[in-house]
Structure 1
Amino acid sequence: MVPLAGLVDVAFLGHLPEIRYLAGVALATVLFNYIYWTFGFLRMGTTGMTAQAIGREDREGVILIGLRNGLIALSLGLLILVLQQPLRMLGFTLLSATPEVKASGQAYYDALIWGAPATLLNFVLIGWFLGRSQSGKVFLLSAVGNLSNVVLNYLFIVRWGWQSTGAGLGTAIAQYLMLLVGLILINREIPLVKIHQHPAKASFVRQILNPSDLRAAFALNGEILVRTFALVSTFAVFTNLSSTLGTEILSTNAVLLQVVTLTAYFIDGLAFATETLAGVFLGRGAIAQLTQLIWVSGTASLSVGILFAIAFILIPTPLFGLLTNHSAILGRIGSYVGWLLPVLGFGAIAYMLDGYFLGLTAGRILRISVLAAASLGFAPMAIAAWYFRNTHLLWLSLALFMVVRALSLAIFVPRTLKTNSIDRCQRSDPP
């Protein structure tokens, strides 16, 4: 649901007379990736910790994790709103593009930023439902958020001509609708008034703010934050280098990255399930089941990645034609679409293993892996791409990033299948 809504938005913008609106939104998305996905630990940490509490049959712990991370999310969301102007100034100063493209990106930013509190709270809601194996509720939230996003963006972009501003406003409103439905689902299961009226409410509040639990949450979240920041930075540099090669290359790569995003979300469905099951198995102490989980999830994820890549390589014009009607972009895509095979093939393994280690709350391993991939796999070839102004080298840098990320995560898998090694994987001591 998430990537399909994004593809529809790209199609709305890609069929406007001027391509600068699509390019501007692609540029602003780099900034929002930093703002939002840097706080992706709110979803990832919530899922793993909740799943392990479920495995231990700790019902009170499950509620405390949701409330504690929800409080953190709300605080961060409000802080983003307070700092929106400095973030805007810094972000667009560092990003490279023509004045027209930047203006379109800034219009998108000014509208979308108001959805920050809802977006971060939705991270926690999704993580909490996933940790409790309630994927049906996650699907409902996704359906509400993304279908409303499509409808609103159609009205704002196509019907009313609000262009980049409409794209940002539609997405922001959709996040609040998604949050409202999520709170209703929680209230039906655990009435919030009961928590408010609980006789031991003061004790409950103290447990939410318990220093040791907060430290544990921030320790895990810190590792995931570094991991996510490095991951987002890789794609940000990729997009920024694309923009230095011209608006057409930026738009072409933005369309190709939509395919990467589409596939990644399909694989993330498997990764989320892997994350939940890994956490539950660990909470139960059922280490032997982790081996079977790795093989099943790994085979399914790789199959999805390869199938998507082959489909877009074999029939590029009809599929990419759904996203844009600009002949210059469609003509360029054929030269670079082959890079989807290594990017999605190795990326599939990396995404799946990400979910596995998140379920084990092994943040240290995730941090080590992505830093190795960014510094050893991506950076050297990205520098070469910038120096030689070569788009193929730029895609090679992204492929190498996925290769190193998948291999570096795979190296740690055997030690997680030994009972006495789990604690070492979760701690932050050196490997």
Structure 2
Amino acid sequence: MAPPLYLLLDLAVVGRLGGEQLAALGVGTLVLSIVSTQLTFLSYGTTARSARRFGSGDRPGAVVEGVQASWIAVAVGILIVAVAYPCAPVVMRLLVGTSSPESAAVAQDAAGWLRIAMFGVPLILLSMAGNGWMRGVQDTRRPVVYVVVGLSLAAVLVVGLVHGIGPFPRLGLDGSAVANVIGQGVTGMLFAVRVVREARRVPGSRAFAPDWSIIRAQLVMARDLVVRSLSFQICFVSAAAVAARFGVAQVAAHQLVLQLWEFMALFLDSLAIAAQALVGAALGAGRLGAADSVARRVTAVSVVAATAMGALFAAGATLIPRIFTSDAAVLDAVGVPWWFFVGMLPIAGVVFALDGVLLGSGDAAFLRTATLTGALVGFLPLIWLSLVFDWGLAGVWSGLVVFMLVRLATVVWRIRSGRWRQAGAVRA
């Protein structure tokens, strides 16, 4: 729960600067999310692979999976910073547009925020790798502590640096990015220290060295998970680009509700993460019945939690948006996407839980195809038709609803087919 709560705090703090800054934060955060989530295999893929090894009794092998994922994280993170830093202004101008002074200002502010925040990417990826292998060996307490420590520091800094409270300089929107980098840096270093300590206990002299056979196997799973993540991100970038064409207030409202959607996705993902580790360990040990039981229980809890949160957001439809912004135009525009968001939550409860089950089993190829189908059949067509026919945010969010319904149908079918249940330390 700590990451989504921090995102909401960041949103609320920056929202007090005005609608323009809120829109810039939303777009900048979206691009940072695109960059980092393309490498979710460092978390999800590593969890699945290390959990299977742990379940089969090979804990050292599970730790080595974490070491190799950490090498990938550092190398790719540095490459991303080198490429993304000079490209940030161009990307933001293309995404937001410069057809009006307001849009140009949002693009400029978002580029400045992103250039600072990008320096946290290598450590974000290192944290993903650390989360992955530690969940795989069912060490769930330390990752929570590491994340809470980093985000608690970031929470103090974001309030102080954005508004210049106490001993901190007033940096405005840039203060949000600085706080983000420092918090991610602390968390990433804690994960790095832990993997080094664990690797020292692994027999053999090559525990720390890159193992290309393992890295190659991780990258095969990465291919499917990257395509899956890219499908998500193309949809959300398209949605932001279309919303921006409807005006600054509309894109700010869209990003505000989308951040709440991301909050709920991360909230429900905490249950899915538990499913990943438990399903992977059960399949690694050859206990297919236990894997089925985990799938049923996690889905039931996730649906109840999502429905309860949906009721809470429905009751707070007029109050909750005012926590994040006082801009009248943004508040007027929020009402349209709000009820789409509320209505999708029970569907999300099923989809995210079963995603976790399938990820834990290593069924990444199926998830890739299912997500890509949902994007091409549902989300993308409605997003761009919304621009052509001027359907506004209602059209954009209708696309997200269709996307979720396609995903619901595909993951339920896959679970019922039983084809995801493959026993053994390594998925065939």
1: CA distance, partners of 2:195 / 2:380: 44
Cα deviation digits, residues 210-237 of structure 1 (max 9, x gap): 43x3322111111111101111221111
2: CA distance, partners of 1:344 / 1:33: 21
**Of 125, 128, 134, which residue of structure 1 is paired with 2:133?**
128
2: CA distance, partners of 1:126 / 1:389: 43
Partner of 1:398: 400
2: CA distance, partners of 1:141 / 1:347: 27
Would you say the 8 A contact 1:287–1:418 is kept in 2? no
- CA separation of 1:380 and 1:210: change in aligned 2, threshold 3 A: closer
- CA separation of 1:237 and 1:57: change in aligned 2, threshold 3 A: same
Would you say the 8 A contact 1:48–1:279 is kept in 2? yes
Partner of 1:332: 333
Would you say the 8 A contact 2:89–2:107 is kept in 1? no
Partner of 2:83: 83
Partner of 2:416: 414
Would you say the 8 A contact 2:89–2:108 is kept in 1? no
Letter in 2 for 1:397: G
What's the offset of the Cα at 1:290?
Answer: 2.1
Partner of 2:100: none
Unaligned runs of 5+ in 1: none
- CA separation of 1:85 and 1:181: change in aligned 2, threshold 3 A: closer
Partner of 1:169: 178
Higher mean C-alpha displacement, 6-15 vs 177-186: 177-186
Letter in 2 for 1:395: W
Higher mean C-alpha displacement, 366-375 vs 74-83: 74-83
2: CA distance, partners of 1:79 / 1:40: 16
Partner of 1:379: 380
User: Are residue 67 (structure 1) and residue 67 (structure 2) matched?
Assistant: yes
Partner of 2:351: 350
1: CA distance, partners of 2:115 / 2:282: 44
1: CA distance, partners of 2:423 / 2:189: 38
Would you say the 8 A contact 1:263–1:304 is kept in 2? no
User: How do residues 257-336 of structure 1 correspond to structure 2 at under 5 angstroms?
Assistant: 257-336=258-337
What's the offset of the Cα at 1:85?
Answer: 3.4
Partner of 1:139: 144
**Runs (4+) of structure 1 moved beyond 6 Å?**
none
Letter in 1 for 2:57: E
Unaligned runs of 5+ in 2: 98-102
User: Are residue 201 (structure 1) and residue 205 (structure 2) matched?
Assistant: yes
Letter in 2 for 1:401: F
Partner of 2:26: 26
2: CA distance, partners of 1:91 / 1:34: 12
User: How do residues 147-296 of structure 1 correspond to structure 2 at under 5 angstroms?
Assistant: 147-159=152-164, 160-186=169-195, 190=198, 192=200, 200-202=204-206, 204=207, 208-211=210-213, 213-296=214-297
- CA separation of 1:335 and 1:116: change in aligned 2, threshold 3 A: closer
Question: TM-score scaled to structure 2, two decimals?
Answer: 0.92
What's the offset of the Cα at 1:156?
Answer: 1.0
Would you say the 8 A contact 1:266–1:304 is kept in 2? no
2: CA distance, partners of 1:354 / 1:365: 10
Cα deviation digits, residues 223-282 of structure 1 (max 9, x gap): 111101111221111111111111101111111112211211111110000111110111
- CA separation of 1:210 and 1:332: change in aligned 2, threshold 3 A: closer
Would you say the 8 A contact 1:281–1:289 is kept in 2? yes
The SS at the match of 1:317 is coil
Cα deviation digits, residues 161-204 of structure 1 (max 9, x gap): 212211111101111111222234445x6374x66xx7x414x4
Letter in 2 for 1:217: Q
- CA separation of 1:90 and 1:35: change in aligned 2, threshold 3 A: farther
Letter in 1 for 2:170: G
1: CA distance, partners of 2:314 / 2:109: 31
What's the offset of the Cα at 1:3?
Answer: 0.8
Cα deviation digits, residues 301-324 of structure 1 (max 9, x gap): 112222222211222222222111
2: CA distance, partners of 1:354 / 1:37: 15
2: CA distance, partners of 1:417 / 1:227: 19
Would you say the 8 A contact 2:85–2:118 is kept in 1? no
Query: Percent identical across equivalent pairs?
Result: 22
Letter in 2 for 1:34: I
Aligned residues: 416
1: CA distance, partners of 2:22 / 2:177: 12
Letter in 1 for 2:198: I
Question: TM-score scaled to structure 1, two decimals?
Answer: 0.91
The SS at the match of 2:323 is coil
1: CA distance, partners of 2:89 / 2:325: 30
